[in-house]
Amino acid sequence: MSNPFLLTSEYDGTQYVSERCSLNRAVLAKVPVKGIEDEIAGMTFSQIFSTPLIVAEIRRLSRHYALDLSDTPDSRLPQILNEGLVSDDARLRQLSERVVCRFGNRLGMLLLSLRMGEEENRLARPDWDDSCWDYWRQLDTVILTGGLASSMLGRRLKEQMMYIFDQKGVRPYNITLFENGAFLGVMGVAERLMGDRGCAMGFDLGHTNFKRALVRKENGMISGFTPFETIPSRFMQSRFDDESEKMRFAVDLHNYVVKSIVSAYKEATTLTEVSGDFLISIANYTHSGYLNPNRGGFAKLTLLDDHYASVLDEVLSGELKRPIRTILVHDATATALYFGDVPNAVSLTLGTGFGVGFPEIRL
Range of the domain at 219: 184-338
Same domain assignment for residues 32 and 127: yes
Distance CA 241, CA 244 (A): 9
Same domain assignment for residues 20 and 116: yes
Residue 161 covered by a domain: no
For residue range 104-129, list pLDDT tens digits in order: 999 999 999 999 999 999 999 999 99
Given pLDDT bands bounded at 50, 70 and 90, which one contains residue 286? very high
Per-residue exposure over 297-310, b if at least 16 CB sit within 10 Å of its own CB, e if not: bbbbbbbbbebbbe
Residue 178 covered by a domain: no
Q: Which amino acid is at 270?
A: T
Residue 346 covered by a domain: no
Q: How far is the CA of 233 from the CAs of 206, 265, 350, in angstroms?
A: 7, 18, 18
Dihedral over Cα of 23, 26, 31, 32: its sign: negative
Per the model's pLDDT, the better-predicted residue between 101 and 220 turns out to be: 101
Given pLDDT bands bounded at 50, 70 and 90, which one contains residue 180? low
- In this prediction the pTM is 0.91
For residue range 293-316, list pLDDT tens digits in order: 988 899 999 999 999 999 999 999
Per the DSSP assignment, residues forming a β-bridge with 43 are 28
Show which of 138, 170, 203 is a domain's final residue. 138
CATH number at residue 223: 3.30.420.40
Q: What stretches of 36-183 show up as alpha helix (H) in DSSP?
A: 45-48, 51-64, 77-84, 90-116, 119-123, 130-138, 151-168
Secondary structure of 27-55 in HEC code, one letter for each residue: EECCCCCCCCCHHHCCEEHHHHCCHHHHH
Task: State the first-to-last Cα distance of the chain, in angstroms, to the nearest integer.
Answer: 19
